[in-house]
């Protein structure tokens, strides 16, 4: 490092001169409150950030009402008025997440259609799922070979069978099994899986999609922070002017 000759400072050291004219970084940092109450929080190795927000850690303006999650000893759950789902993974890059919709094996939730209760939430079942059918109250003589007997009590104590269908189609099933009551759970599935793998399939969870983060992408692209107006649950982009802190832009 060599010193500047003082008389020729303006010519030889233009960078030094320029820096001297700018407000010093220390002054700028003092004026700017950089603390971010909505910074990502971790639960069980899952990052929680907009549009999700972690109760007890984030204030409510960090995400939409329906995206409030709670963390209990690394167990991340999302509640709505009908369901409590355990979240297994969140994929922010493509606005989707993996959740356990079944509540576990032999849960009474397995005897309703998962899709009908999701209808009221902002989440959609991804068509990447397959349909896992639970069949019960069947009128059968013998059962088809592709059906797996499930060791679970049904609501009417009839036998329960599992059967893995094709890609999930919202609002219905491509394959109505004859003479049975049917409930459908979307599952992610994997190569070679059949109904006999129902336990592993339930554990793998369902892939759900959300769209409420669309305005957030534009906001963060311009350096803003994504927030929600708690009184009407509407999106708000906060910008920073470097002087007065954060304001709605």
Q: Which residues bind ligand NAG (CB under 6 A)?
A: 33, 35, 37, 40, 42, 47, 75, 77, 84, 86, 91, 94, 96, 103-104, 111-113, 126, 128, 137, 155-156, 172-173, 181-184, 207, 209, 229, 231-232, 236, 248
CB of 75 to ligand NAG, least distance (A): 4
DSSP 55-71: TTTS-GGGS-GGGEEEE
**Residue among 13 and 209 whose Cβ is closer to ligand NAG:** 209
d(CA 157, CA 37): 51
**Residue among 36 and 146 whose Cβ is closer to ligand NAG:** 36
Long-range CB pairs of 79-88 (<8 Å, 24+ gap) are: 80/120, 80/121, 81/120, 82/117, 82/120, 83/109, 83/117, 83/118, 86/205, 87/46, 88/205
For residue 115, give every residue at least 6 positions away whose Cβ sits within 8 Å of its Cβ, in sequence order, or none: 125, 170, 171, 184, 186
**Residue among 13 and 92 whose Cβ is closer to ligand NAG:** 92
d(CA 170, CA 20): 63
Point out which residues pair with 239 in neighbouring strands: 247
CB of 138 to ligand NAG, least distance (A): 10
Cα 236 from chain centre? 20
Pairing status of strand 41-43 against strand 46-48: antiparallel
CB of 50 to ligand NAG, least distance (A): 11
**Residue among 20 and 190 whose Cβ is closer to ligand NAG:** 190
CB of 8 to ligand NAG, least distance (A): 42
**Residue among 5 and 217 whose Cβ is closer to ligand NAG:** 217
CB of 12 to ligand NAG, least distance (A): 40
CB of 22 to ligand NAG, least distance (A): 23
What are the DSSP E strand ranges found in 104-188?
A: 124-125, 130-136, 148-150, 160-167, 181-187
**Residue among 13 and 121 whose Cβ is closer to ligand NAG:** 121
**Residue among 33 and 146 whose Cβ is closer to ligand NAG:** 33
CB of 44 to ligand NAG, least distance (A): 9
């Amino acid at each position: 490092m060599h010193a500047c000759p003082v008389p020729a400072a303006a010519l030889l050291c233009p960078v030094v001169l320029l820096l001297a004219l700018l407000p010093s970084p220390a002054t700028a940092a003092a004026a700017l409150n950089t603390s971010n109450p909505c910074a990502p929080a971790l639960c069980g190795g899952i990052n929680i950030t907009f549009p999700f927000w972690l109760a007890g850690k984030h204030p409510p303006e960090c995400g939409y009402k329906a995206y409030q999650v709670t963390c209990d000893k690394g167990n991340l759950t999302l509640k709505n008025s009908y369901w409590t789902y355990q979240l297994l993974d969140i994929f922010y890059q493509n606005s989707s997440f993996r959740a356990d919709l079944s509540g576990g094996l032999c849960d009474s939730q397995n005897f309703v259609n998962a899709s009908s209760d999701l209808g009221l939430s902002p989440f959609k079942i991804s068509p990447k799922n397959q349909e896992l059918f639970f069949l019960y109250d069947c009128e059968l003589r013998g059962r088809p070979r592709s059906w797996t007997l499930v060791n679970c009590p049904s609501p009417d104590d009839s036998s329960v069978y599992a059967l893995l269908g094709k890609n999930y189609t919202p609002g219905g099933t491509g394959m109505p099994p004859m003479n049975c009551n049917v409930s459908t759970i979307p599952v992610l599935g994997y190569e070679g899986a059949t109904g006999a793998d129902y336990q592993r399939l339930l554990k793998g969870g369902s892939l759900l999609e959300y769209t409420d983060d669309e305005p957030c992408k534009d906001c963060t692209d311009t350096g803003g922070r994504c927030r929600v107006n708690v009184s009407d649950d509407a999106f708000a982009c906060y910008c920073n002017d470097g002087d007065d802190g954060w304001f709605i832009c």
